[in-house]
Each structure stands twice: as structure tokens, then as C-alpha cells.
Amino acid sequence: MNVKAVFIGAGSMAEAIIAGALKNGALQAGHTYVTNKTNTVRLQQLSEEFGVRAGYEAETAMLDADLIVLAMKPKDAEAGLHSIRSFIHEKSLVISLLAGVSLDFMEEVIGKPCSIIRSMPNTSAAVGKSATAIALNRYVTEEQHQAAIELFSAIGTAITVDESQMDAVTAVSGSGPAYFYYVAEAIQQAGEELGLEHETAKELLIQTLLGAASMLAKNNGQAAVLRKAITSPGGTTEAAIRTFDEFRVKQAVAAGVKEAAVQSKRLGNAYIR
């Protein structure tokens, strides 16, 4: 997209999206600006690594911005929006990466009609594999909607949902990579305890995860079908699954995902006046 984009916040998610979008041509480095509250070292790092423009001059960064990406911490949402709302014009598209911050809250703080898209990507954006859901407010045009789809499709997949589903999205895909990393930690640790060298266990685990993800994609996400296909009666996989069931692993994972959704809602409630 040949647009002027401004990232308000320079954390890991902003970096992931910048890296993916620049690599795939969804954004241009010379038209991409990054700013944060005080961390000049971080801004310099992003500028040197990606060639984007970085600094604290709000007028320079925000003037005639087509795309404004809110990437600050959720607790800084109100102050951040207050600081930039005078620069938001009728053709601006604001894209929020802020967990739990509702469209209504952002509209109220901005205080004028404005196109806002609430999104929930994940950090796999850095390798072009994010699963991103977006929700639109009533001012978003079809052109802006497609621009957002293009941006997030450049870093993975993008789907549009009703805002009421965003807490579930946050729990499933927003936090989702961490769940797989958590399980991967346990598998690698067990492999090493069984006598595998660290590098050997790591290499086997990574390729296994890649293969399993590819099989899920090929088979339309039928995880239960794929699991049963390799769980032979009396075999090693069955022994492992039986042990997982004894420890109620499936129930624990489901409970964790649901608690993540509840926490997303709690964060959102903090922004209800």
C-alpha cells in the first residue's frame, strides 16, 4: 500500500507487523513512521533495522497520515488517543492492536467521526504467519476494510468478525502461540531427560511442529481425526494420550483458553465509563 503509516508504540507487536508488512510490500519504509513515549534506543533500533522513520515530533509523524496504528500498552490508550486526536481527519484509518479496548471507547475519546478497526494479530506476524481477526466500526469504508485485510494478509491470514467475538479471538489466536510454545517446552525437556542432546531434541521438535501444522492445514483442521489416525491400540501414542487424559490435559488447556477470554473481558471493562 502506498500510504503514510504511523505506529504509535514500538513494542514487539509493532515490530512484528512492520517486519512482515515491509517484507511483503504492504508498507513502504520511507512512508512508515514509528514513535513511542520516551525510548529513543528502541526507536533507533527499529529505524536502523527496517529503514523506517522514528522520533517524537508528532506533527511530522501524524501530518496527513492515512493509517494510524495504535500499538501502545492498553493502559496508555486514553492518553495516547488524546495526544493524537487533533491530527485525525475524516479520511484517517485508525487500526488498534490494543487487547480489550473497545471501538466505543476509542470513538468516545477521539470525539469525532472516525474510521476505526480493532484487530487482534499475534507475534507470528514477524514470519508472515499471524492469524489476525478484525472488527470494524460503522465509519469504515469498504476501501479501508480491504486495505486492512491487505495489511494483515501480508503477515498471515486475516478474517473479519463481529466485535463481540474479540475476547474469544484474543484467547484462541492472540495468546495462542504461547500455548504451543508452552507445550513445546515440555516436550523438549522430556526428550532431553530421555537422553537426547539439546540440539537433537530441538530439531526434531521444530520439524514435528511444522509437519503437524501442515497436516492440520491440509486436512481442514480436523485435529481429532489426525490424532486418532496415529493412535494405534497398544502403541506408544496411545500410552502418551492415556497419560495426558489421566492428568486431564485437554480440560486444563480448555480452561486456560477460557480464562484468557475472561481476562480479555476484564481488561475491556477497565475502558467502560
174-267: which CATH topology? ProC C-terminal domain-like fold (1.10.3730)
State pLDDT tens for residues 191-209: 999 999 999 999 999 999 9
CB atoms near residue 109 (< 10 Å): 17
Q: Which amino acid, residue 139?
A: Y
Delimit the domains of the chain by residue range: 5-169, 174-267
Is the model's pLDDT at 273 over the cut of 60? no
CATH of domain 5-169: 3.40.50.720
Is the model's pLDDT at 76 over the cut of 70? yes
**Mean pLDDT in residue range 72-100:** 90
Q: What is the pLDDT of residue 1?
A: 65
- Cα–Cα distance for residue pair 124/1, rounded to 1 Å: 21
State pLDDT tens for residues 43-65: 999 999 999 998 867 677 888 88
